[in-house]
Amino acid sequence: MSLPVRLTPEAEADVSEAEAWYRERGLGLGDEFLRSLDASLQSIARFPESCPVVHRPLRRALLRRFPYCVFYVAESERIVVVGVLHARRDPQVWQRRSAG
């Protein structure tokens, strides 16, 4: 059984920004990024505790082929994605979001 996945407004903005960046590079990379993200979110929904805790209750899943991480909190009834950030992004960004 899968849990519903909800993206915060900040996470939705992260996705839009990354997708636009890859789309500008051409060759269908924007669509591939979204497919990779969707596969990761489906896996998280099915197995929410499979990814490591990186900061308090915050967990991190890595995207395949793209240097991005999905930061999320696994609640009893749902998954809340607080960020979809480049792996080299300052950790303080996702750490602040986990506190909110």
Token digits of residue 67: 């240097």
Token digits of residue 36: 């990779």
Across the chain, the runs of DSSP E, i.e. the strands, are 5-7, 53-55, 58-62, 68-74, 79-86
pTM comes to 0.91
Q: Distance between CA 25 and CA 38 in Å, rounded?
A: 20
The domain made up of 5-99 has a fold known as YaeB-like fold (3.30.2310)
Q: Distance between CA 56 and CA 73 in Å, rounded?
A: 9
Position 25 pLDDT exceeds 80? yes
Q: Are 7 and 81 in contact (CB under 8 A)?
A: yes
**For residue 100, what pLDDT is reported?**
60
Residue spans per domain, the chain: 5-99
Summarize pLDDT for 33-52 with one digit per residue, the tens: 999 999 999 999 999 999 99
**For residue 35, what pLDDT is reported?**
98
Contacts of 75 (CB under 8 A, 6+ apart): none
